[in-house]
Amino acid sequence: MDCEILKERYIEACRRQGILPNKGICSSLLMGRMKISQHEPFSLEFSLDNLKDCDFLPLFELFVDIDDSAIHRIDIYNKKICVMNGAYVLSLLRALSKKLHVVHLNDLSLERGFLRDLFKRGLTCKELHLRSSHLRQLNLTGSFLQLQTLNLDFNTSLTSFQETCSSSMPNLKHLSLCATRVSNLWTTVSALSKLPSLIELRFQNCLCCKNTGPCPKSPSPRTHGSNWTGYYDDLYARTSLRQSLLFNLPHSYPEDTLEDTSVIEDASFTENSHWPREDFEEIYEGDLPNFYQELSFPDCLSDALHNVDLLNNVQVSSETLTYEDGDFLSSGSYRNQGLSFDDSEKRKYSAHHPSPICFEKHYRDFIIASLPQLQVLDNLPADDNDKETAKFRFLKYFEYLPYRRRQKESVVSILNKREINNRHTNLCKHVSSCLPVKSSQYHTRSLVAAKVGASAWPLLRPLSTSGYVFGDENRSFRPRQFEYHPSDSGLMAFGTLDGEVVVVNHENASIFSYIPSLGAMNSVLGLCWLKKYPSKLIAGSDNGSLRLYDVQQWQSAGTGRNFNAYDDFDQLTSVHVNATDELFIVSGYSKNVALYDINTGKHIDVFSDMHQRHINVAKFSNHSPSVFATSSFDRDVKMWDLRQGLLQPCFTASSSHGNVMVCFSHDDHCLLVSAIDNEVKQLSAIDGRVLLDLEIAPTGSTQNYTRSYYMNGRDYIISGSCDENIVRIFCAQTGRRLRDVSLEGKQSGASMFVQSLRGDPFRDFNMSILAAYMRPNAKSDIIKVNLLASSDCSADASDDETYLPSFSMGG
């Protein structure tokens, strides 16, 4: 079947449909004939531009027997922004069957169900370009067996991957995701690791490259063996060039140094993965020794790398590029702050189109180490030297599995080892000398590590914040603060924007006790359970009201009316009870702190001018009833002891920004301090020394209030901020980052942000997050997170709308 026959069939089909032939289609057929005359393969290109719905009907007839034709390939594309009938476009693509080669559907306005149907049923093309298509999640469940190139650039609503999205593309080699909203390293890598043929990945493009493929300006990889001088020269050349090609640099190249060469020679990795094998036994449960000592760059490179570091201070906007002190802005925060470039520079640098994931520290090392088959990342080759360096940078800054476990193990294998260990322990009771036996804690932690490492998509489940109170009355609550019960693993209390206090059984989502506001409470910002009297809690609101409730007397029927009212504390933000349930301390929007007697309800004292600015949070220690810490927006954290008087603090520690909160570790050995814009440090509770600086990338926002708490005792730290939709999890001993948990709203274009969070005191690797949409009248939800269980990716937050409170107050 040649072009003349196709043209005649097309004209005849138009005549039967009673329409005029489309000039564009006739032109495509003419171009096909010209290719044949030039002895090129018989291929056709059809433009969807200027097609009307009626033009599709004769095309369907034309391609009825397309598989039996001599046509080599057919490409479908559009160059103009136009509105089309999605059903007609899908029918046309599927009618072309095996002859379909390239599909470009860019900036098309199609029905919402178009992409869902396309991904569910699949396509037979080899290249698929869906730029600016308003995807939200990548969930390809249909058959894309022939697909080799997928371009999803400028899908500005695309935030994440579904867990099974990659199984339908076994031959995908090239994937481009520039200018998307993908930000989570762990879910991204977990999804992409299921693509066995993937060799090229882009989340941003280098300056001179618009299409996929290695940049022509990048140097070819070289192998130097033991010639480290040559290696340094090559590294310097590649680093300098990458700095000039990519807007967002691989953080680790200018910032860090190479690791010890002996480690590179001795380290071993699993056969099918980049992760290191457990070639040595874990002798103890403390910190591992630092096997990876750093080598310094030669002195001759220091000045050159310092000059290159200028780009570390560049921040990008969709419209402008700006300079700012510090690291790159983190996920999704491209703010216009500081000095703007002129229009020519703006056009030059806006070509990078980075996705938020590119602004994560050590992004390039993480991707290269996690996807060892990758050959090109962001148009730059990933050679053997890059891969070796990335492996060790990963070990330095990230935890592959919890508790520094080196490889994934099956639960059955761990249980078998524990059984053998128990038998060995019993045998040791009768033998004087015996080899060391691993503790039961070792096996417990191994089980936890196996479960956490099983999936990058933890189980997220919104806690129902509505229920029946006063008989048949169904109420919907607006939570503003929450606290786990100190001794009952099933209970949680939350205070609302309307001054109510609700105690729920968060395991079965039932209301245990409901306390109305009684007309006196406003937004509840402070909640604290008593330890010796676990049915009692203190609630404080932003209008200064303070009350002690016995929740047993306020069962869901609401018949109780007994409570203790305390003297008001104006503009309250924080309430905390001491270890013996005798005193509690209150702070707020002032420089003062008030100490109360729980039994009498009176002020014992008001300590004035403890800081230079308002004291957002004050916390007693967990064990000493007289020791407490205060955190203030004057950037200082101070430790106090009532026994020594409060003229001078025990010590003062300073942050770079205003402090949002402070809390003690469970053993009172450490203080966890969270300041504005992701500044999180762990201090010694003895003298205030900095034990750990998490070095989270800032966003550049002075309103990015950060809150951090311990999880699993003081083994891990969880941190979230109100300008971001992620909770970061770090090892509290090493500072290595274990994982991020992303919050995603159900509505298109809607993001959820962290307002508060707590680690579950009874369940390892469980936490709850108070999250909300950042838009007017949006609902806030308490979301339970279980890192030991895998999500089905279907339980998103609901769409109910309520008022969103201020993020700046309270802990």
583-602: pLDDT as tens digits? 999 999 999 999 999 998 88
- Output the 3-class SS for 233-262: HHHHHHHHHHHHHCCCCCCHHHHCCCECHH
Identify any residues that bridge with 771 across adjacent strands, giving them in sequence order. Answer: 754, 781
Task: Report domain 477-560's class.
Answer: mainly beta
Token reading at 763: 């369940």
The reported pLDDT for the residue numbered 795 is 42
- Whole-angstrom Cα distance, residue 5 to residue 7? 5
- Whole-angstrom Cα distance, residue 400 to residue 185? 12
- Whole-angstrom Cα distance, residue 329 to residue 314? 9
- Whole-angstrom Cα distance, residue 191 to residue 163? 6
**Is residue 321 packed enough to be buried (19+ CB in 10 Å), middle (13-18) or exposed (0-12)?**
buried
Identify any residues that bridge with 83 across adjacent strands, giving them in sequence order. Answer: 109
- Whole-angstrom Cα distance, residue 478 to residue 234? 58
Share of the chain above pLDDT 90, in %: 40
How many Cβ atoms sit within 10 Å of the Cβ of residue 672?
A: 24
In contact, 548 and 571? CB cutoff 8 Å = no
* Sequence-distant (≥ 6) Cβ neighbours of residue 723 within 8 angstroms: 333, 699, 701, 703, 704, 753
Q: Domain locations in the chain?
A: 228-398, 411-452, 477-560
Looking at per-residue confidence, does 413 or 643 come out higher? 643
Tens-place pLDDT, residues 742-784? 887 555 445 688 999 999 999 999 999 999 876 666 678 899 9
The average pLDDT across 93-121 equals: 81
Identify any residues that bridge with 620 across adjacent strands, giving them in sequence order. Answer: 628
- Residue 515 exposure: Cα atoms within 13 Å on the Cβ side: 27
Q: With 90 as the cut, is the pLDDT of residue 563 above it? A: no
Confidence of residue 46 (pLDDT cuts 50, 70, 90): confident
The reported pLDDT for the residue numbered 37 is 54
Helix, strand or coil, per DSSP, at residue 605:
strand
Pick the range with the lowest mean pLDDT from 163-172, 497-506, 719-728, 787-796.
787-796
Tens-place pLDDT, residues 169-210? 899 999 999 999 898 999 999 989 989 999 999 999 887 777
Residue bearing tokens 């476009």: 89
Looking at per-residue confidence, does 796 or 166 come out higher? 166
- Whole-angstrom Cα distance, residue 318 to residue 179? 9
Q: With 60 as the cut, is the pLDDT of residue 86 above it? A: yes
Pick the range with the lowest mean pLDDT from 242-256, 536-550, 639-653.
242-256
Pick the range with the lowest mean pLDDT from 506-510, 668-672, 735-739.
506-510
The average pLDDT across 517-544 equals: 89
The reported pLDDT for the residue numbered 440 is 65
The reported pLDDT for the residue numbered 620 is 97
Q: Which amino acid does the sequence have at 286? A: G
Strands annotated E in 485-608 = 491-496, 501-505, 510-515, 524-529, 536-541, 546-550, 563-566, 572-577, 583-588, 593-597, 603-607
- Residue 210 exposure: Cα atoms within 13 Å on the Cβ side: 1
* Sequence-distant (≥ 6) Cβ neighbours of residue 772 within 8 angstroms: 752, 753, 755, 778, 779, 780, 781, 804
The reported pLDDT for the residue numbered 38 is 54
In contact, 589 and 543? CB cutoff 8 Å = no
Length of the chain as a residue count: 811
How many Cβ atoms sit within 10 Å of the Cβ of residue 323?
A: 13
Looking at per-residue confidence, does 788 or 32 come out higher? 788
Going by C-alpha positions, the residue among 732, 708, 712 that lies closest to residue 787 is 712
Going by C-alpha positions, the residue among 618, 623, 598, 599 that lies closest to residue 607 is 618
Cα 272 to the chain's mean position, in Å?
26
Looking at per-residue confidence, does 123 or 301 come out higher? 123
**Is residue 155 packed enough to be buried (19+ CB in 10 Å), middle (13-18) or exposed (0-12)?**
buried
The reported pLDDT for the residue numbered 31 is 75
Q: Rounded mean pLDDT of the chain?
A: 77
Q: DSSP secondary-structure letter at 20?
A: P
- Whole-angstrom Cα distance, residue 198 to residue 206? 19
- DSSP for 118-133 reads HHHHB---SEEE-TT-
In contact, 126 and 146? CB cutoff 8 Å = yes
SS3 content of the chain, % helix, strand, coil (to 5): 25, 30, 50
In contact, 519 and 473? CB cutoff 8 Å = no
Q: With 90 as the cut, is the pLDDT of residue 673 above it? A: yes
Pick the range with the lowest mean pLDDT from 94-98, 660-664, 786-790.
94-98
- DSSP for 692-717 reads EE--PPP-S-TT--EEEEEETTTTEE
Q: With 50 as the cut, is the pLDDT of residue 283 above it? A: no
CA distances from 82 to 29, 85, 106 (A): 22, 10, 9
The average pLDDT across 313-340 equals: 30
Q: With 90 as the cut, is the pLDDT of residue 573 above it? A: yes
- Whole-angstrom Cα distance, residue 395 to residue 292? 9
Confidence of residue 280 (pLDDT cuts 50, 70, 90): very low
Looking at per-residue confidence, does 522 or 630 come out higher? 630
Tens-place pLDDT, residues 675-733? 999 999 999 999 999 999 999 999 899 999 999 999 999 999 999 999 888 999 999 99
In contact, 448 and 722? CB cutoff 8 Å = no
Q: With 60 as the cut, is the pLDDT of residue 298 above it? A: no
**Is residue 296 packed enough to be buried (19+ CB in 10 Å), middle (13-18) or exposed (0-12)?**
exposed
* Sequence-distant (≥ 6) Cβ neighbours of residue 75 within 8 angstroms: 43, 44, 45, 46, 101, 102, 103, 104
Helix, strand or coil, per DSSP, at residue 272:
coil
Q: Which amino acid does the sequence have at 384? A: D
How many Cβ atoms sit within 10 Å of the Cβ of residue 700?
A: 23
The reported pLDDT for the residue numbered 426 is 57
Q: In what order do the strands lie in the sheet with 524-529?
A: 524-529, 536-541, 546-550, 563-566
Going by C-alpha positions, the residue among 321, 296, 297 that lies closest to residue 310 is 321
Looking at per-residue confidence, does 148 or 275 come out higher? 148
Identify any residues that bridge with 491 across adjacent strands, giving them in sequence order. Answer: 505
Q: With 50 as the cut, is the pLDDT of residue 254 above it? A: no
Tens-place pLDDT, residues 604-619? 999 999 999 999 999 9
